[in-house]
Amino acid sequence: AQTVTQSQPEMSVQEAETVTLSCTYDTSESDYYLFWYKQPPSRQMILVIRQEAYKQQNATENRFSVNFQKAAKSFSLKISDSQLGDAAMYFCAYRRAPHDKIIFGKGTRLHILP
Amino acid sequence: DSGVTQTPKHLITATGQRVTLRCSPRSGDLSVYWYQQSLDQGLQFLIHYYNGEERAKGNILERFSAQQFPDLHSELNLSSLELGDSALYFCASSVDYQGGSGNTQYFGPGTRLTVL
């Protein structure tokens, strides 16, 4: 069974600094999809970034980028120039294929220090 | 705004009661997924509907049921409620095709259920 592990329950970063959130996953599939979702205090689940496993190039979305290491089954999220609005719970997530469920990690709570 | 709507936002009820949660997917999305977020279990997949048909079940209790209607909105019915059913219930929608954003699930704002 596929699993997603986030080993950092909480992290803190100074405003304007860079922080990296870790995620590892386990799967026997060769094609799949990985996501980072953000859940701010409003509890809304917001898509931050996605990565298709068949793409070697790491995805980027403005200040957010990933380091996708397929062989190591690692999918970390880097947030550059951290802002107060980045404070949230971040979930790493895996999806085997369209029409399949998402499997979530337990989340990393990110604090931004002013 | 993801384009997925859920009602109600909050629901407070008593043990043993029955409630219905409603979800409207994004325009054009045929798939609706239901998830439960609780403190001890995290985010868990409950059930998936595609174009009116049930496609997959996850850790959904027999007291829970769902359906997707011809206009593609979906309802999650929770009956004989217990204290442990208190949670945040999300629905998510997707177009569900290979590649690009087609494999992404977009989440609604959730319904917070409190069972007293």
Whether B64 and B57 have beta carbons less than 8 Å apart is answered as no
A11 interfacial to chain B (CB closer than 8 Å): no
Dist. CA B9–CA B22, nearest whole Å: 10
Report DSSP state, residue B53.
Answer: E
DSSP SS3 for A112? strand
Q: What is the pLDDT of residue B98?
A: 62
Whether B107 and A44 have beta carbons less than 8 Å apart is answered as yes
Strand partners, A95: A33, A102
Say yes or no for a CB contact (<8 Å) between B97 and A98.
yes
Dist. CA A1–CA A8, nearest whole Å: 22
Dist. CA A51–CA B61, nearest whole Å: 32
Locus of tokens 């803190």: A12
The DSSP line for A49-67 is EEEETT--SPPEETTEEEE
Report DSSP state, residue B71.
Answer: T
Q: Which parts of chain B sit beneath pLDDT 50? A: none
Residues of B in contact with A35 (CB under 8 A): 104
Dist. CA A42–CA A87, nearest whole Å: 11
Residues of A in contact with B88 (CB under 8 A): 43
DSSP SS3 for A86? helix
Q: What is the pLDDT of residue B12?
A: 97
Q: What is the pLDDT of residue B102?
A: 61
The pairing of strands A10-14 and A108-113 is parallel
Residues of B in contact with A88 (CB under 8 A): none
Q: What is the pLDDT of residue B74?
A: 98
Cα B36 to chain centroid distance, Å, stands at 7
B61 interfacial to chain A (CB closer than 8 Å): no
Q: What is the pLDDT of residue B110?
A: 97
B41 interfacial to chain A (CB closer than 8 Å): no
Digit-coded pLDDT (tens) for A90-108: 999 999 987 889 999 999 9
Instruction: Give how far Cα B70 sits from Cα of A26, B2, B19, B50, B95, Å.
Output: 37, 22, 21, 11, 16
Digit-coded pLDDT (tens) for A32-83: 999 999 999 999 999 999 999 998 899 999 999 999 999 999 999 999 999 9
Task: Return all residues near A76 (Cβ < 8 A) that are at least 6 apart.
Answer: A20, A21, A22, A23, A66, A67
